[in-house]
Amino acid sequence: AASDVYKRKGMGQSDKLPDHGARTYSYFVHRDYFDGWMDAMSLSGPITFVGHNWGVPLFFDWAMRNPDKTRGFVHMEGQVSPVTTAIAGDRFQAFNAHMRSPEMEADVLNDNLYLEQYFFRYVDDLLSDQDKAEYEQPYMNPGPDRRPTIDWPCEIPVDGEPSDVFGRLNELIEWMKINDIPKLWLVPDTASIMTGERKTAAESFSHQTTLQIEGEHYTPETSPDIIGRAIANWIEGLGV
């Protein structure tokens, strides 16, 4: 079976957008580019999506509008639900306030703080120098080139804001409860973000197999072989 990998706009080797400040790379901007990529690929046959973090709601969203073209979902550590600070707790509330502060924006744009502090810190011992250079390459230039890394965490709908993303994630949750598309939910055994409302939402999805795997939040980096075997076994079990 063929496989194709989508690089979200402004990330990987994809082009950057003209900078308009916060939300230049909003969820809906990414959704429009993902829709365009799917149209351009002209993929034949039903599609099995595999995604992590924000990739998960992006492919849920496309599938909700194209269910006849969707064979299955494999999701892990996905941004599948809005978050309420009263439920998420003080630690998340502090994280959210920090992410949305002018100081954090400046630290990210000037010093690449998000990549260094919130990514490499957790996976540095798993990456070769060549791997690390690949991750760093799109964000070498200080300033707007680094905007995607701060826009994404600020798209998490917290206490109802951003309201457009809040509304869309709630619509996706309701659809995921009722559609009959097979789903595989991979849950790392350490440092998972799938707690509270995210966990409750994911547990409500219909026609779903849940599998705990060894790994951490950045599952593609911590558990690539485990993920591959789990997907192969799941697809074999579906008989497709």
The predicted-structure confidence for 109-121, as pLDDT tens digits, reads as follows 999 999 999 999 9
- Residue 201 pLDDT exceeds 90: yes
pTM above threshold 0.85: yes
61 has pLDDT over 90: yes
Does 136 have pLDDT greater than 90?
Answer: yes
- The CB density around residue 157, as the number of other CB atoms within 10 Å, is 21
pLDDT exceeds 60 at position 1: no
Query: Where does residue 14 rank: exposed (0-12), middle (13-18), buried (19+ CB within 10 A)?
Result: middle
Mean pLDDT of the 46-60 span: 96
Long-range CB pairs of 133-142, under 8 A, 24+ apart, other chains included: 136/112, 138/10, 138/11, 138/12, 138/13, 138/14, 139/112, 139/115, 142/109, 142/110, 142/111, 142/112
Name the pLDDT band for 192 (thresholds 50, 70, 90): confident
pLDDT of residue 239: 79
